[in-house]
């Protein structure tokens, strides 16, 4: 197919589906519509947030990145890669954006720009996304040119042609390469509860599905998939009460083992081993035996450290009276809810001070401190040094 005809077909696809499109040759962009395509990779400057195509199987690949953006990738067989996206499969609001920043997937400094990007990003359900991919295949993988090809008028709100919904719906299940979000959330909930057996049971359900294609070779893709699993398990352990530094240290150790593995056999059963490790740490923390209401309040706080928190909102989340919860919390923990929130925010912020180059001001703002000076004051009181000195000591120790 001549490049100009391919570009015309890409324009048709974009105007019908409303999905941004690019035609790439190597690392060079040959064509793009619209001229500027906002994405997490473009906003952050991190190209690892762009999807890497798997082996050329002459069909559309549906790939979701760690930044929750979904792309359609199609290799043409003559050296070109067609990339459609990004789109979202569900809205990414501030509550979903914050965990990505806390997990280190996205930087603090881009929070505002990313929030604006996600709020304007097109959202497609599974069915519509699947048939968008089938439309891309139908248009671009034909052997014969389209007769009487006519440019269409732009209308990014137009629905995808119903003729593309006529194929067998069951075929869709063979195309999607990521475990449903709800199942992953259930694994996280079980890890946060320290429930090893239930976590492994749900993991078996996930592993019956095809793994995501996250690299050009199956072995590298498996490693990347395990690293993603390790990341969400660490976040779940923190939700269950494990200190951030403790969870991240365990996560780092697992990731180093993944990278050092030489064969697929070395990684067999490794996800189950990670579950055992993280749930063991959660059970050790929960062995402190707080009452159910206090433990629930702690879990809610740990999950929402980067959000505005009040006693009233916490009490509402655990269905309890605010005054009674405050007294119960102080009686069982020896500290007020406010003191606990401050302590946990400093503990988690310290991880990012130590392990990233994000500015102190961005970290302070993300964790809801009213000013950088207030953050510095609280940090010094808790850690004995200012954030700047804490970072310098870390760099000095590592040099």
Separation CA 180–CA 125 (nearest Å): 12
What kind of architecture, by CATH, is found in domain 298-398? Orthogonal Bundle (1.10)
Residues ≥6 apart with Cβ < 8 Å to 212: 63, 64, 177, 178, 221, 225, 228
Q: Per-residue pLDDT for the chain (399 aa), expressed as one digit of tens each?
A: 677 888 888 888 888 888 999 998 877 888 998 989 999 999 998 888 888 777 656 788 888 888 889 999 988 777 788 999 899 998 998 888 888 888 778 888 888 899 999 999 999 988 888 888 888 888 887 654 444 444 444 554 545 444 444 443 344 333 334 444 555 666 777 788 777 776 776 666 566 555 566 677 888 888 888 888 888 889 888 888 888 888 888 998 899 989 888 888 778 778 888 888 898 888 787 666 678 788 888 878 888 888 899 999 999 988 889 999 999 999 988 999 999 999 999 988 888 888 788 889 999 999 999 999 999 999 999 999 999 999 888 766 655
The 3-state secondary structure of the chain reads CCHHHHHHHHHHHHHHHCCCEEEEECCEEEEEECCCCCCHHHHHCCHHHCCCCCCCCCCCEEEECCCCCEEEEEECCCCEEEEEEEEECCCCCHHHHHHHHHCCCCCHHHHHHHHHHHHHCCECCHHHHHHHHHHHHHHHCCCCCCCCCCCCCCCCCCCCCHHHHCCCHHHHHHHCCCCCHHHHHHHHHHHHCCCHHHHHHHHHHHHCCCCCCCCCCHHHHHHHHHHHHHHHHHHHHHHCCCCHHHHHHHHHHHHHHHHHCCCCHHHCCHHHHHHHHHHHHHHHHHCCCCCHHHHHHHHHHHHCCCCCCCHHHHHHHCCCCHHHHHHHHHHHHCCCHHHHHHHHHHHHHHHHHHHCCCCHHHHHHHCCCCCHHHHHHHHHHHHCCCHHHHHHHHHHHHC
Separation CA 199–CA 192 (nearest Å): 10
Q: Is the pTM of this model over 0.85?
A: no
Domain locations in the chain as residue ranges: 3-148+155-175, 181-286, 298-398
Contact 274, 233 (CB under 8 A): yes
pLDDT score of 84: 93
């Amino acid at each position: 197919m001549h490049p100009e005809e391919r570009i015309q077909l890409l324009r048709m696809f974009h105007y019908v589906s409303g999905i941004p499109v690019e035609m790439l040759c190597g690392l060079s962009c040959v064509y793009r519509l619209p001229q500027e395509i906002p994405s997490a990779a473009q906003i952050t400057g991190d190209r690892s947030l762009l999807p890497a195509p798997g082996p050329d199987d002459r069909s559309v690949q549906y790939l979701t990145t760690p930044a929750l953006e979904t792309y359609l990738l199609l290799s043409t067989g003559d050296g070109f890669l067609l990339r459609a996206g990004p789109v979202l499969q569900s809205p990414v609001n501030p509550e979903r954006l914050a965990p990505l920043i806390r997990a280190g997937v996205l930087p603090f400094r881009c929070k505002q720009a990313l929030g604006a990007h996600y709020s304007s990003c097109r959202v497609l359900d599974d069915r519509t996304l699947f048939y968008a991919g089938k439309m891309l295949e139908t248009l671009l993988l034909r052997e014969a040119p389209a007769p009487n090809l006519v440019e269409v008028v732009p209308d990014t709100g137009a629905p995808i042609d119903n003729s593309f919904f006529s194929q067998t719906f069951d075929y869709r299940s063979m195309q999607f390469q990521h475990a449903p979000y709800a199942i992953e959330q259930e694994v996280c909930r079980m890890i946060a509860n320290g429930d090893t057996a239930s976590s492994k049971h749900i993991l078996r359900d996930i592993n019956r599905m095809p793994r995501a294609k996250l690299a050009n070779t199956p072995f590298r893709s498996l490693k990347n998939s395990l690293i993603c699993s390790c990341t969400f398990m660490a976040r779940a352990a923190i939700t269950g009460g494990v200190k951030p530094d403790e969870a991240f240290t365990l996560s780092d150790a697992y990731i180093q083992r993944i990278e050092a593995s030489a064969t697929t056999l070395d990684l067999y059963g490794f996800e189950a081993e990670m579950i055992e490790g993280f749930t063991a740490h959660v059970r050790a923390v929960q062995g402190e035996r707080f009452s159910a209401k206090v433990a629930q309040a702690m879990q809610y706080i740990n999950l929402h450290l980067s959000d505005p928190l009040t006693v009233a909102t916490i009490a509402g989340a655990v269905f309890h009276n605010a005054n009674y919860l405050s007294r119960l919390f102080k009686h069982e923990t020896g500290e007020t809810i406010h003191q606990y929130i401050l302590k946990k925010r400093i503990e988690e912020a310290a991880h990012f001070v130590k392990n990233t180059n994000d500015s102190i001001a961005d970290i302070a703002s993300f964790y809801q401190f009213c000013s950088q000076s207030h953050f510095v004051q609280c940090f010094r009181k808790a850690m004995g040094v200012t954030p700047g000195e804490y970072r310098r000591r870390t760099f000095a120790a590592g040099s």
